[in-house]
Structure 1
Amino acid sequence: MNSVNIANELKDLLSGPNVHVQLSVPRLVEEATSRGEAVLTREGAVRAETGKYTGRSPKDKYMVEEETSKDKIDWGNVNRPISSEIFENLYAKVINYLKEKDALYVFKGFAGADPESRLAIQTINEYAWHNLFAHQLFIRPNAEELASHEAEFTVVYAPTFQADPAVDGTDSETFIIVSMEKKIILIGGTEYAGEMKKSIFSIMNYILPEKGILPMHCSANVGKEDDVTLFFGLSGTGKTTLSADEDRKLIGDDEHGWSDNGVFNIEGGCYAKTINLSRKNEPQIYDAIRFGSVLENVVVDPETRIPDYDDSSLTENTRAAYPIQAIDNIVDPSVAGHPKTIVFLTADAFGVLPPISKLTKEQAMYHFLSGYTSKLAGTERGVTSPEATFSTCFGSPFLPLPATVYAEMLGKKIDEHGVQVFLVNTGWTGGEYGVGSRMKLSYTRSMVRAGIKGELNNVPTEKESVFGFEIPTEVPGVPTEVLNPRNAWADKDAYDKKAKELAESFQQNFKKFGSVAPEISVQGGPVQNN
């Protein structure tokens, strides 16, 4: 099956009498509830359960090995190759399967808020609630844009179609297959809607660098002086909490591009974790969950239809999807100027890293490639004590190209725009997990705000001996004794030992980049012989 046939099959599918294109939010809510896919909560959100898969299925994700892209892709555990033949056979089966359905739902929209670089996309969904999810997460076109919309990439999503591994060449019944050449994302065997979001992000991570645009897994906000700040950080580091600031407007909470014009949101909505959600702690997210929002795997009382955000019996990974316009303090459209500040967030359970430190460009590139935080005991099966974990560029599952491509682009932009980069540890101080204590959120907020406002530009610093960081010796509103982590430990020898262990973990992880980024390793990594 060649590309022409792929296009013809798609056109044939979309011409069927069962196809509903660009339904409104109320219509999609009606479809999802009347068909038994979901229920309404008290606030009018649509709540769906995703069954077996309550998160992404990275071991079932593939990229088609094609002449036009195979030499660019960083093949490995993240980007697993699959043949064109397997893809085309599965594609034909899925198309025929969907033709027999009594209803299909199509959303047409965009990825990328910057009109100069946005990607026209469409999703074809078996489930109405999946189509509602796409409507809320991606950028919605106005009437004029919709009239001229021609999709450059199409998501074909058949959650109830299951592959036969023995026949179809997959590892399980589930598959997420990306064909860069045919511009198709084929998803089946999983009901987890987040597969759509992250597949499109992976596409943008492939396309944008070719246009000189750095794609980033980060949140972004902007102050009254048009001062843009980016927040990078893995789950549990405080990215959502710290980027939500009443004095600053949110550009976006998860995915951005950085072009020659500035920063733009890749999405039109937010996909927020809701476990233990409360209005007191996260009012913006709590109040955004209203009519038309989508809740995934949140337990809801069958009578009152009140969500119980503290109930993790279905999964810890409960989620809410809503348009960014559901938040009051935003930039709309989601575009802004060049960043003045970048914040890398880590929750170091070993109590080694400073609560805030200034990074050189080389250190920024090193820690961008490292993407470090800690896993805590009990967060995953088999984790009995804190473990160092690394996710390249703070988003390794979504990087089709070699990681150094993104790091080099970051370094170039830091130079071009004179960006100050901070590493902020929201983890432990005065000892490792179980001995020390978590850094107070009020202190972290004060440090981040001081960094953003430029209040740390000219304060005295001292060099940390293991990683070579420049640590500010004073920050307004923060006790000086917590700024240098070694000073916060009662047992200085224990600190030195733990710091050396963590540095060795960084060095071991960075070996995979050593041959392609030796200068970054030497100039940006831990001080040698420590």
Structure 2
Amino acid sequence: MSKNLLPGPDLNWLGLGADKVLYQLDIPQLVEEAIKNGEGTLSSTGALAIDTGRFTGRSPKDRFIVLDDVTRDTVWWGDVNIRFTQANFNALLEKVCAHLNARKIYVRDGYACADPSYKTSIRVITGTAYQNLFANNLFLRPDAEGNTGRPEWTIIAAPEFQADPLIDGTRQSNFSILNFSKKIILIGGTGYTGEIKKGIFSVLNFILPQHRNTLSMHCSANVGAEGDAAIFFGLSGTGKTTLSADPCRGLIGDDEHGWGDDSVFNFEGGCYAKCVDLTFEKEPQIFSAVRFGALLENTNYFPGQRVVDYANIEKTENTRVAYPIDFIDNAVIPSVTGIPKNIFFLTADAFGVLPPLSKLSTGQAMFHFISGYTAKVAGTEAGITEPQVTFSACFGKAFLPLHPTKYAELLGRKMEQHQVNVWLVNTGWSGGAYGEGQRMKLSYTRALITAVLENKLQDIEFIEHPVFGLQMPVSCPGVPSEILNPGNTWENKQKYDQKANELAQAFVANFKQFEAFANEEIRSSLPKVVENTL
């Protein structure tokens, strides 16, 4: 029944039959299948618009790792990495495959890691056409038509399958399970495609640091005309995508990368961008990428139209669009560049404490990397009425199978080896906390980053922040000097000192969970908490 002439791969080792397999369909075929199946509709720009159902985001509490000889003594077990038994996995795999055998399934071969020396083959088996389109867009696409041999990793996604927690060992009916011995990612009960993408990211986060001396990173990356690569880390709302999207620099990727012995490379072949409030004026590259071949998730149309209303968040704030990276005009293909010269940690500090730009020592870089700080402000999530401190280790705690210190120490070694500069950039508030101060102007942040990338701060004097010990420039082209030292922007200096002390205490308290595993260089880089500030 296949619409193409490619022979299907051997799936017998999974117990999957081949008579209902649609293999390596191209974009028009997958879109046609999705529409025929009632999975979605075409928007006015030609993008396929679908709903992912009950789940419009990842479900971290339903992500498991199989406990076996490979993972027992290496995985950072806890609330991020939850144990799952081999017996329960084997039984659940058999059930899922039996479920898929009763349906037509979509199979796609691709790979991860744009640097050929790290190439990891992936086979994605899905119960819907739109999930297969997502896999086509996000993973790297092979030059050949396909590979009928057995891949290194297999992803099986069955959104309509519902687990029975009492029998299957899951928490509820949905699940995402990583099996490092069988090299299978098993996903069920959820149609949210981000589980597919982040499953492979977690796999690479486990393998590359341990076996290839390669730092896996939740970051964006770009490169200048002279080959000067830059990396941007940051949690949601800090400006990672916006600040790395520079028309004067080539885009390596927007989310997942590896830093090997002599290269930085994209893990993926596409982008999975948030599109809430998307406009051409704010994000022209992303807006223009929403065309035929792109996949829109959980968006809404204007009434009676096929025009997407990006401001409509009735389904979720986490509206997304997935598209191949070559939909971006300045994308670098293959997405590989050299060792970075500069790394930026982006934080939206809603307390108005951190400088708009500061330079970090190696120890401070490891400390701030393991902290992964930003702040959520009122309105970003239900129930949040005032700024809340948020920490996410290595700016991606949910995807770290290893202890965060492993990644932080590897970062430190690579910094020292290659003499890389690491900068902390506050895209948040200045002159007071959220509600009192002002949000840092994007033009100032861009000017600071540009000054770094163009080596315009080399001869500038730096002074030390009294609490965090960060090195702050006293001047920068295109930026008012008075905002560079955040303490000077507050009318009440004592109030600033108090707020800085409160934030320092939050950093120290968060670090307690890592302290026993951290080296001395990290431990010596904590901010200085003062007992009495008033």
Please give the range of the TM-score, normalised by the shorter of the 2 chains.
over 0.9
SS in 2 for 1:201: helix
The verdict on how the C-alpha distance between 1:148 and 1:413 changes in structure 2, with shifts beyond 3 A counting, is farther
Task: State whether residues 428 and 438 of structure 1, in contact with CA within 8 Å, keep that contact through their aligned partners in structure 2.
Answer: yes
Contact 2:278–2:287 (Cα < 8 Å) also in 1: yes
Q: Does 1:514 pair with 2:501? A: no
Is the partner of 2:117 in helix, strand or coil? Answer: coil
Displacement after TM superposition at 1:150 (Å): 3.8
Equivalence for 1:461: 462
CA distance in 1, matches of 2:499, 2:36: 57
Question: Which residue number corresponds to residue 53 of structure 2?
Answer: 51
Residue in 2 aligned with 1:320? 321
Answer whether contact 2:14 2:97 (CA < 8 A) is retained. no
Corresponding residue SS for 2:58: coil
1:275 aligns with 2:255: no
Other-structure match for 1:3: none
SS at match of 2:154: strand
Structure 1 unaligned segments of length 5 or more: list them. 1-6
Q: Residues 211-226 of structure 1: matches in 2 within 5 Å?
A: 211-226=212-227
User: Would you say the 8 A contact 1:217–1:255 is kept in 2?
Assistant: yes
Inter-partner Cα distance in structure 2 for 1:415 and 1:14: 50
Distance 1:57 1:106 in 2: 24
Report the CA distance between 1:11 and its aligned residue: 3.5
Which residue in 2 is equivalent to 1:174?
174
Question: Which residue number corresponds to residue 191 of structure 1?
Answer: 191
What does 1:306-385 align with in structure 2 at a 5 Å threshold?
A: 306-385=307-386
In 2, the alpha carbon distance for the partners of 1:364 and 1:316 equals: 32
Q: Which amino acid aligns with 1:121?
A: I
- Distance (whole Å) between structure 2 residues aligned to residue 426 and residue 250 of structure 1: 21
Structure 2 match to 1:141: 142
Deviations 1:248-272 (A, max 9, x none): 0000000000001210000000000
Which amino acid in 2 is paired with 1:185?
I
Residues 494-515 of structure 1: per-residue CA shift (max 9 Å, x gap): 1000000000000000011111
| Contact preservation (8 Å) 1:120, 1:149 | no
Give the SS at the match of 1:512. Answer: coil
Q: How big is the shift at 1:457?
A: 2.2
Calculate percent identity across the aligned residue pairs. 53
CA distance in 1, matches of 2:517, 2:340: 27
1:523 Cα deviation after fit: 2.6
Residue 29 of structure 1 aligns with an amino acid whose one-letter code is V
Q: Residue 297 of structure 2 corresponds to which residue in structure 1?
A: 296
Q: Partners in 1 of 2:144 and 2:191 — Cα distance?
A: 30
**Letter matched to residue 192 of structure 1:** Y
Q: Distance in 2 between matches of 1:528 and 1:357?
A: 19
SS of alignment partner, residue 423 of structure 1 = strand
Q: Equivalents in 1 of 2:46, 2:383: separation in Å?
A: 39
The structural deviation recorded for 1:384 is 1.8
For 1:97, the equivalent position in structure 2 comes to: 99
- Residues of 2 paired with 1:167 and 1:516: CA distance? 37
CA drift of 1:301 comes to 3.7
Report the secondary structure of 1:186's partner residue.
strand
In the superposition, the TM-score normalised over structure 2's length comes to 0.96
Aligned counterpart, 2:79: 77
- Displacement of 1:13 in angstroms is 4.5
8 A contact 2:11–2:18 mirrored in 1: no
Q: Report the secondary structure of 2:246's partner residue.
A: coil
Q: Distance in 2 between matches of 1:367 and 1:503?
A: 12
Indicate how the Cα distance of structure 1 residues 89 and 8 shifts in structure 2: closer, same or farther if over 3 A, else same: farther
Aligned-residue RMSD, C-alpha: 1.4
For residue 84 of structure 1, what is the amino acid of its counterpart?
Answer: Q
In structure 2, the partner of 1:68 is 70
Asked whether the equivalents of residues 372 and 395 of structure 2 are also in contact (C-alpha less than 8 Å), the reply is yes
Q: Measure, in 2, the Cα distance between the counterparts of 1:99 and 1:463.
A: 64
**Amino acid aligned to 1:81:** R
Question: 1:232 maps to what in 2?
Answer: 233
Distance of 1:421 and 1:282 partners within structure 2:
26
Partner of 2:24: 22
Give the secondary structure class of the aligned counterpart of 2:118: coil
Matched, 1:164 2:168: no
Shift of 1:212: 1.0
Taking the aligned partners of 1:301 and 1:446, their CA distance within structure 2 comes to 37
Letter in 2 for 1:493: Q
- The residue correspondences of 1:191-210 to structure 2 (distance < 5 A) are 191-209=191-209, 210=211
Give distance in 1, aligned partners of 2:529 and 2:489: 24
Q: Secondary structure at the match of 1:157?
A: strand
Q: CA deviation at 1:302?
A: 6.1
Residue identity opposite 1:19 in structure 2: V
Partner of 1:485: 486
Quick one: distance in 2 between partners of 1:414 and 1:12? 43
CA distance in 2, matches of 1:436, 1:12: 58
Distance 1:346 1:520 in 2: 22
Shift of residue 382 of structure 1? 2.6
Contact 2:16 2:98 in 1 (8 A): no
Task: Tell me by how many angstroms 1:452 deviates.
Answer: 1.4
Secondary structure of residue in 2 paired with 1:508: helix
Provide the rounded CA distance (Å) in 2 between the counterparts of 1:515 and 1:149: 45
Partner of 2:152: 152
Q: Deviations over 1:85-116 (max 9, x none)?
A: 11111111001010001x10011000100110
Cα distance in structure 2, aligned partners of 1:159 and 1:243: 34
State the partner residue of 1:4.
none
Distance 2:242 2:147 in 1: 39
Q: Is the 8 A contact 2:366 2:522 kept in 1?
A: no
Question: Could you say what secondary structure the match of 2:517 adopts?
Answer: coil
**C-alpha separation in 2, matches of 1:425 and 1:490:** 19
TM-score by length of structure 1 reads 0.96
Q: How does 1:442-461 map to 2 (within 5 A)?
A: 442-461=443-462
